[in-house]
């Protein structure tokens, strides 16, 4: 077996091509793809890549199955039947020329009236910079379309890190192996952060203590020394309770605080006062845990060093999620944990990467225009709004959305309050184009479906939010069928729209050279497949946070001081609502899915079985429910039928709607997002998926009670 290129390989030669995992996962894996006679026959992790060291998750290890899936969209498709969710869609194959000519014609007609009536909708179906945020952004900037606020996953945490540290920055993944205490906070690492878990296990074997903080008793919690099952949305209160104990017991690094933490009137003194108002008794009552758990957690964090926190994004999907991240991010600054390479915190490392955003996306193509920005979380409401409709903030909506171009996303499945999302996509006067691999819930409601390449079929470059290595993805095979890269599709559309700017002629290789500017050697990246960023092992050992004064920030001129905010929907904040819907629901990902990706893979769907709701035995008994029973989960936003699983993973008063299933695989054509809200977080305009009250009852026939 040899490492060579597709162009130089003899027909019968096995070729090993370097690739990178495209999916929305913290630890972007380096991959080796073995190709024989133009067919990818094997995919494995690259053992030479230091942070991921050859391991692949179950999902990505089956990526060749995805690439050659018999249901893959291989030719452009045009709708010939009505748009109606739950009804088999009717499409006919068309040529690329016919599809692109018609799409461009329709977009030109709409843009002539108002280009802001056109909206792109994309997220992290691929994390690659070329296929995710290059030629597409140039196209929509040149068009003058509405801008999309891409907030559906991580923006609350991102805003919090920016307000606290000055950017999305954290410790190095590899150094967790040397930590003596690791708090795994809001992360089912075994399922969603596998490579971190490998380093955490190394630390555990060396004597480190692992504590999982999560409402759900996850597979990761099973393997930790302790699980603290707090109520959803109370993470900020727990952080303040920990601070209370750190202060009372003298477990602070006062020298680090004095030198590197904000010290004005809204800084450490104000935070200290807030923390002292959260003794263990108050903290325990708010979080639904014991006083001993609060005290013990603070004692471990204050006395075991080096102490590290691995935070993940689930815990910020509530009203106060951004402030919770701010408070947790302050903990290693108060104890001086940053002094050691194996101490500190990691939520996202993506701020270390020198992305050349302006050169890739070309916002200058707007030429002074300032289109409106629509938040992707609120697509359900926005698709149903009329031109000039009054908005809650007193402003006006602007033109009705007439065209939607969806790529790298499946909003009908993943966006909240999905009954509204479906109604919007069903509009007969909405022109929808979807770039996809499969007929997803969203593709089913499109006017055109364009076949996009998978990661094995196109060039891309990647950063990561879980480690500090740049990666390059080489195309391992020629595109299957008539699939085209996103970059090429938007080039083709630009040409038909008459956009003659030179930037639309940039090749994918030229884009790859541009992505990181002069800070990453493109030749080394192409030769080796990855390049490690040149960063200090302990980046904040001597402070030096990228804030205005180099100090960690406690207050913000925009957000005020970091503090705890309870959920929108809880017994404390909405007692009348909680009387009708007494169960708090979170919707963590099913272990073998990644958001809505891989749901159509029969091998993975067979492992998951069917859409499930996890519930505590006492909650089930109070409702006369039995394990395996078909149940109806409901609130004012909608109803979803699924099967009940009674187990010890659910805390009393909390249920888990494991997602995100495609709606078409649900019992009644819905998924858990039928119940979630379009309300936004305190920071970052992000979704509040885990801030959701419901009730559960035995299910009757489909649609009963809705």
Provide the pLDDT for residue 8. Answer: 44
- Measured distance CA(383)–CA(379) in Å, rounded: 6
User: Half-sphere exposure (CA, 13 Å, Cβ side) for 174?
Assistant: 11
- pLDDT score recorded for residue 61: 81
* Whether 118 contacts 403, CB under 8 Å: yes
What are the two backbone dihedrals, phi and then psi, of residue 249, each rounded to the nearest 5 degrees? -100, 5
- d(CA 655, CA 205) in angstroms, rounded, equals 33
- Find tokens 């960023």 and name the residue: 533
* Cα–Cα distance, 82 to 486 (Å, whole number): 27
Q: What is the pLDDT of residue 53?
A: 82
Counted residue by residue, the chain has a size of 706
Closest Cα to residue 95, out of 490, 484, 505, 497?
A: 484
CA atoms within 13 A on the CB side of 253: 24
CA dihedral 137, 143, 147, 152 (to 10 degrees): -50
pLDDT of res. 285: 98
Q: What is the pLDDT of residue 703?
A: 46
* Sign of the dihedral through C-alpha 197, 199, 205, 211: negative
- φ, ψ (nearest 5 deg) of residue 17: -115, 135
Please give the pLDDT value at position 487: 98
Tokens of 403: 């065209």
Q: DSSP strand E in 305-398: where? A: 307-311, 344-346, 373-375
Instruction: Give the per-residue pLDDT at 385.
Output: 98
What's the rounded Cα separation, in Å, for the pair 263 and 248? 19
Q: Is the dihedral of CA 276, 277, 278, 282 positive or negative?
A: positive
Pseudo-torsion of CA 359, 361, 364, 370, nearest 10°?
A: -150
Q: What is the mean pLDDT of each run of 10 residues along the chain (706 residues)?
A: 42 82 78 94 90 80 90 97 91 98 98 98 92 98 98 96 97 96 95 88 98 97 98 98 98 98 94 98 98 98 98 95 98 98 97 95 98 98 97 94 97 97 98 97 98 96 92 96 98 98 97 91 90 95 97 95 97 96 94 69 78 97 98 98 96 94 91 97 97 95 47
Beginning with the edge strand found earlier in the chain, give each strand of the sheet holding 209-213 in spatial order: 226-228, 209-213, 181-185, 307-311, 344-346
The pLDDT, as a whole number, for residue 590 is 78
How far apart (Å, rounded) are the C-alpha atoms in residues 238 and 285?
10
Burial of 112 (0-12, 13-18, 19+ CB in 10 A): exposed
Tokens linked to 266: 């809204």
Task: Please say whether the beta carbons of 497 and 143 come within 8 A.
Answer: yes
What pLDDT score does 59 carry? 76
**CA gap 116, 403 in Å, rounded:** 9
CB under 8 Å to 472, separation ≥6 — which residues?
Answer: 18, 20, 460, 461, 462, 512, 525, 526, 529, 530
């Amino acid at each position: 077996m040899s490492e060579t290129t597709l162009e130089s390989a003899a027909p019968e030669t096995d070729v090993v091509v370097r690739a990178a995992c495209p999916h929305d996962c913290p630890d972007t894996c380096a991959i080796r793809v073995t190709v024989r006679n133009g067919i990818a026959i094997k995919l494995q992790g690259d053992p030479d890549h230091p942070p991921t060291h050859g391991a692949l998750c179950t999902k990505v290890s089956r990526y060749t199955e995805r690439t050659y899936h018999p249901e893959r969209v291989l030719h452009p498709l045009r709708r010939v039947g009505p748009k109606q969710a739950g009804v088999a869609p009717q499409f006919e194959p068309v040529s690329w020329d016919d599809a692109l000519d018609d799409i461009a014609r329709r977009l030109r007609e709409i843009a002539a009236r108002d280009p802001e009536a056109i909206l792109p909708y994309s997220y992290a179906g691929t994390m690659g910079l070329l296929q995710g945020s290059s030629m597409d952004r140039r196209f929509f900037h040149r068009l003058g379309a509405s801008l999309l606020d891409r907030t559906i996953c991580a923006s609350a945490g991102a805003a919090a890190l920016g307000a606290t540290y000055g950017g999305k920055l954290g410790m190095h993944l590899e150094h967790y192996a040397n930590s003596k205490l690791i708090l795994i906070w809001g992360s089912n690492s075994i399922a969603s952060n596998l490579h971190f878990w490998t380093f955490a296990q190394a630390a555990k074997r060396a004597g480190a203590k692992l504590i999982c903080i999560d409402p759900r008793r996850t597979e990761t919690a099973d393997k930790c020394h302790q699980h603290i099952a707090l109520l959803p949305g109370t993470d900020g209160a727990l952080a303040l309770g920990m601070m209370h104990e750190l202060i009372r017991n003298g477990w602070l690094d006062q020298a680090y605080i004095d030198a590197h933490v904000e010290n004005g009137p809204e800084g450490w003194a104000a935070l200290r006062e807030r923390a002292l108002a959260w003794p263990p008794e108050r903290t325990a009552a708010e979080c639904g845990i014991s006083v001993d758990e609060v005290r013990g957690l603070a004692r471990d964090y204050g006395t075991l060093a080096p102490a590290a926190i691995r935070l993940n994004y689930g815990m910020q999907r509530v009203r106060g999620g951004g402030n919770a991240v701010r408070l947790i991010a302050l903990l290693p600054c108060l104890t001086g944990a940053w002094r050691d390479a194996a101490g500190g915190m990691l939520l996202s490392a993506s701020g270390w990467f020198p992305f050349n955003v302006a050169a890739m996306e070309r916002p200058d193509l707007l030429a002074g225009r300032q289109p409106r920005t629509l938040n992707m979380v609120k697509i359900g409401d926005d698709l149903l709004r009329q031109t000039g409709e009054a908005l809650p903030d007193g402003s006006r909506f602007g033109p009705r959305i007439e065209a939607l171009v969806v790529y790298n996303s499946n909003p009908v499945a993943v966006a909240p309050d999905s009954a509204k999302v479906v109604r919007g996509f069903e509009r007969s006067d909405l022109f929808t184009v979807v770039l996809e691999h499969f007929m997803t819930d969203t593709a089913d409601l499109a006017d055109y479906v364009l076949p996009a390449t998978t990661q094995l079929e196109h060039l891309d470059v990647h950063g990561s939010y879980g480690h500090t290595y740049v990666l390059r993805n080489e195309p391992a095979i020629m595109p299957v069928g008539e699939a085209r890269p996103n970059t090429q599709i938007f080039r083709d559309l630009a040409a038909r729209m008459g956009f003659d700017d030179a930037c639309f002629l940039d090749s994918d290789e030229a884009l790859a050279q541009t992505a990181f500017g002069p800070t990453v050697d493109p030749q080394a990246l192409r030769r080796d497949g990855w390049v490690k960023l040149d960063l200090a092992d302990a980046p904040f050992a001597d402070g030096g946070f990228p804030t205005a004064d180099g100090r960690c920030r406690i207050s913000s001129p925009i957000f005020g001081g970091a503090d705890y905010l309870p959920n929108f929907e809880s017994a404390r904040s909405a007692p009348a609502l909680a009387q009708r819907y007494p169960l708090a629901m979170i919707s963590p990902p099913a272990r073998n899915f990644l958001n809505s990706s891989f749901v159509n893979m029969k091998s993975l769907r067979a492992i998951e079985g069917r859409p499930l709701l996890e519930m505590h035995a006492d909650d089930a008994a109070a409702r006369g429910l039995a394990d395996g029973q078909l149940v109806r989960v409901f609130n004012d936003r909608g109803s979803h039928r699924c099967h009940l699983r009674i187990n010890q993973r659910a805390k009393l008063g909390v249920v888990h709607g494991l997602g995100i299933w495609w709606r078409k695989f649900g019992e009644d054509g819905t998924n858990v997002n039928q119940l979630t809200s379009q309300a936004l977080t305190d920071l970052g305009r992000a979704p509040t998926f885990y801030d959701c009250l419901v009730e559960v009852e035995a299910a009757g026939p489909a649609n009963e009670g809705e």
